[in-house]
Chains A and B, each alone.
Chain A
Amino acid sequence: MKKVAGKKNRGLTKSGPLLLIALPGIIYIIINNYIPMFGVFLAFKDYNYVKGIFGSDWNGFDNFKYLFRHDALLIVRNTILYNLAFIIIGTIFSILVAILMCELGNRFRVKIFQSSLLLPNLLSWVVIGFIGFAFLNSDTGFINKTIIKFLGENEVAWYTNPKPWPIILLIVYLWKNVGYSSIIYMASIAGIDKSIFEAAKIDGANKIKQIRYITIPMLKPTVVILTLMAIGRIFYSDFGLFYQVPMNSGALYNVTQTIDTYVYHSLMELKDVGMSAAAALYQSIIGFILVVTANAVVRKVDKDNALF
């Protein structure tokens, strides 16, 4: 008995300080994420300022109706496809960058590259939107005035032509996020036992083979965890990316409208509390289902790597 207790204690002694460090974060999450959850039922109410939160009338699923109109399919498609592209291509690029970074060796060089890759992540979407505008605007934009002129082609009205936007959004997303997410992979790579690489070298494995057979398999758990977490947010989209970068141009809605921007556009005029709550609830429920499903799949395939 005492022995067991002792073991437990040792566990707590070890993790106690860590828990303490996590405490502000935990409190933050409780206050910011858990307490507001009680407002979920607003999604089923016809909110009225006089009657207040509890007094307002129930109105069943009326608040959800606008999320399922005929164009809802397009919006859901956009949200999911973009997020899938971001998850897959983003992960590939981040790993690539992380591996290249680790191969640089020289600390000084690594620092420079890392900082410059990280910089876009610190910019707000509004700023990035305007950087994009400097490139793309029709009258004075860099692309229209230099590159397209040089090629002798006709000027393109970027903000009214939906075709290139999936690619533009992907490029902008990668530019902003790859530097940041590659850090996690770099940390994982740094954690791989160096002696494995040395052994491989002695056996005559070249760099490509080392990456193929050691680095990438060793990164698998990290990839799985990050992907699972990303899947949980697959029904959310980065509002800034889809609103600021295309400059909220109506002509592009077919390819830039995601659930978040749709909700924003829909409720701009009405400012209906119940309907916004409905949108949030809808997103979290789908996200929850997706995470649980994805996790179940992972558990089936590879039990060790599942989140729970």
Chain B
Amino acid sequence: MNKLKKLLIISFSLIMAIIAAGCGKSESGKNNESNSQSGDKKSYDKVVYAYATFNNIPSSDVLETVQEEINKITREKINVEVELLPISIADYSSSVSLSLQGGEQIDLFESLGDYNTCVSSGMAYDITDLIDTCAAETKEVLGEDILAACVKDGRLYGIPTYKPYALTPMVIYKTEIADQLGIDMSQVKSAFDLTDVLRKVKEAYPDMIPLVPVQTGTSGLNLTVPDVDYLTDDYYSPKGVLMGDNMTVVDYYGTDEFAEICNLVRTWYNEGLILKDAATTTSTCTELMSSDNSFCYIASYSYPPEDTAASISAQVGNIPLGAVQIGEAYLDTTSINALTWMVSSNSKVPEAALKFLNLTFTDPDIINLLIYGIKDRDYVMDEEGYVSYPEGQDASSVPYTAQLSCGTLGNFFFMYPMTGTSKESLKWEEEQNKLAKKSPAMGFTFDSSEVKTEYTAVSNVIQQYLPGLLCGSVDPEVVIPEFRSKLSDAGLDTIIAAKQAQLDEWLKTK
């Protein structure tokens, strides 16, 4: 008995000791850090910059070298030290929101399509009063119009990434096949012109799937519907929308435009012109395009068609690709605030964080360090200022690169252009930003918190029906009416009414 008791006591104390040691370790680790910081002659505010990377996550010692380079600039300019926290795009949203809930330090993060959720759940710091003192240059660069997209109830909650906002719908196709069959793709002006092209391809290559989906559950046709303001909804799950200049919120699924694209893709499906499993496949369009039996896909890009084709071609094993525009770009609030940089509400150093954010919009060195890493190790630059990976290396083998995150970090227009793109395109893109048609409700964001219950139910119904409709695997004649009645059961009308009310309110204050 005594022996046993002793054993139990020992084992318990052992466990407690381990737990305590665990805690102690992290404690002492923290102390060291602060010591080393105060050990320096000056103390700097430490800012944690959490950004989403579409590339590989660099190893920690590599990351430190880049961080150090950035800190050399920030220490001098704004008296701040930065800790970089790259997070893989797949985990970004959940990982940031969990860290914030857990009280971990993240001072700057990006909204990733969730501007409203971030604001309404209180993750974002109100920077209205700070922007003039801490980020005046950024305000100048972006202009009031663009910043307006991040204003809610008169308060500013973030700064949108400065990049080409206007997404232009295009068809990306394989030039070899088009040439071979004598198809003149420049004649394709809209999605409806595509049918004949797809038929020709199918005739010549019966085993081929001419059109592949741009991503799971959409043929891309929804992107070609002109002049839709999604009023803060996800592009892939629209609820109430504005069409054109009419300020009445309408049910997207009741519009003729929606019925038309559904019928179009249904014809394609019946004739075998689109991937049969488009509604469920998890393969990306680049994967599908890399295979021999595909011809084209529909997507929206913010770069000029030639550039887009060139850069995608590099991702699909250098198959020559062409791109042709099949619609006009349209700007709504979401297209600007989808990628908003926010100071986290529990940041202890909001001023310092905003100052650093300001640098990512105004200091080319900082931006390029973040995107490309360190010169001559991670990239090389030619005389004309174009960059490429060092000899024999690519995006996956260089120690640090976040090249695919370009256009999500700070100011896109300050980035060094990659070899293969042209500086001309930058001009095209800046112009598109100015020329693109803008929604009459620009600056309006919808707060869904009062209709949360309906929102969840409606999202559910949409996920059930929309992919099938957008990929042609169900018959729109039968399914659209069923879909709409389910939507109204789920409370879509309530959402539309709430949207209309908020929109009217917004119009009054404008």
* A contacts, CB < 8 Å to B: 9, 12-13, 16, 19-20, 23, 27, 47-51, 62, 65-66, 69-71, 137-139, 157, 159-160, 247-251, 253, 257, 262, 265-273, 275
Contact = CB atoms under 8 A, between A and B. Distances in A.
Given A65-B453, A270-B456, A273-B101, A159 B11 contact: no
B467 interface: yes
Contacts of B318: none
A69 B453 contact: yes
A276 to B, nearest CB: 11
B117 A250 contact: no
Q: Of residues A19, A51, A247, A273, which shows the largest number of chain B Cβ atoms within 10 Å of its Cβ?
A: A247
Contact of A265 (B114, B279, B460, B465): B460
A-B residue pairs, 9 tightest by C-beta: A138-B276, A266-B456, A50-B122, A247-B280, A49-B122, A250-B464, A253-B464, A48-B122, A65-B453
A49 B276 contact: no
A269 B459 contact: yes
A249 B468 CA distance: 8
B309 interface: no
Contacts of A257: 464
Nearest to A50: B122
Given A13-B4, A50-B346, A248 B280 contact: yes
A139 B209 contact: yes
Contact of B93 (A13, A16, A271): A271
A44 to B, nearest CB: 14
Contacts of A20: 7-8, 11
Q: Of residues B275, B281, B455, B457, which shows the largest number of chain A Cβ atoms within 10 Å of its Cβ?
A: B457
Given A13-B4, A138-B276, A157 B473 contact: yes
A159 B122 contact: no
Interface of B: 1, 4, 7-8, 11, 15, 93-94, 97, 100-101, 114, 117, 121-123, 209, 217, 234, 237, 275-277, 279-282, 345-346, 448, 452-453, 455-457, 459-460, 463-468, 473-474, 486, 489-491
B453 A66 contact: yes
A270 B455 contact: yes
Nearest to B103: A52
Contacts of A47: 121
A251 B466 CA distance: 9
Contacts of A270: 117, 448, 452, 455-456, 459
Contact of B279 (A16, A49, A51, A251): A251
A47 B463 CA distance: 25
A27 B234 CA distance: 43
B106 to A, nearest CB: 11
Contacts of A269: 234, 237, 455-456, 459
A137 to B, nearest CB: 5
A44 B93 CA distance: 24
Contacts of B114: 271
A14 to B, nearest CB: 10
Contacts of B457: 66, 69, 71, 266
Contacts of A275: 452, 456
Contact of B456 (A50, A66, A157, A251): A66
A291 B226 CA distance: 55
Contacts of B217: 250
A183 to B, nearest CB: 30
Contacts of B117: 270-271
A212 B11 CA distance: 48
A251 B346 contact: no
Contacts of A249: 279-280, 467-468
A51 B100 CA distance: 12
A268 B459 contact: yes
A78 B61 CA distance: 51
A98 B274 CA distance: 47
Contacts of B237: 269
B280 A159 contact: yes
B455 to A, nearest CB: 6
B204 to A, nearest CB: 18
Contacts of B1: 9, 12-13
Given A16-B7, A270-B452, A273-B101, A250 B345 contact: no
B349 to A, nearest CB: 16
Given A70-B489, A159-B279, A160-B468, A267 B7 contact: no
8 contacts: A49-B121, A66-B457, A139-B275, A253-B464, A262-B460, A271-B121, A275-B452, A275-B456
Q: Of residues A23, A51, A248, A262, which shows the largest number of chain B Cβ atoms within 10 Å of its Cβ?
A: A248
Contacts of A247: 277, 280-282
Contacts of B468: 160, 249-251
Contacts of A266: 456-457, 459-460
B460 A49 contact: no
A19 B7 CA distance: 11
B280 A49 contact: no
A272 B453 CA distance: 11
Q: Of residues A9, A12, A159, which shows the largest number of chain B Cβ atoms within 10 Å of its Cβ?
A: A159
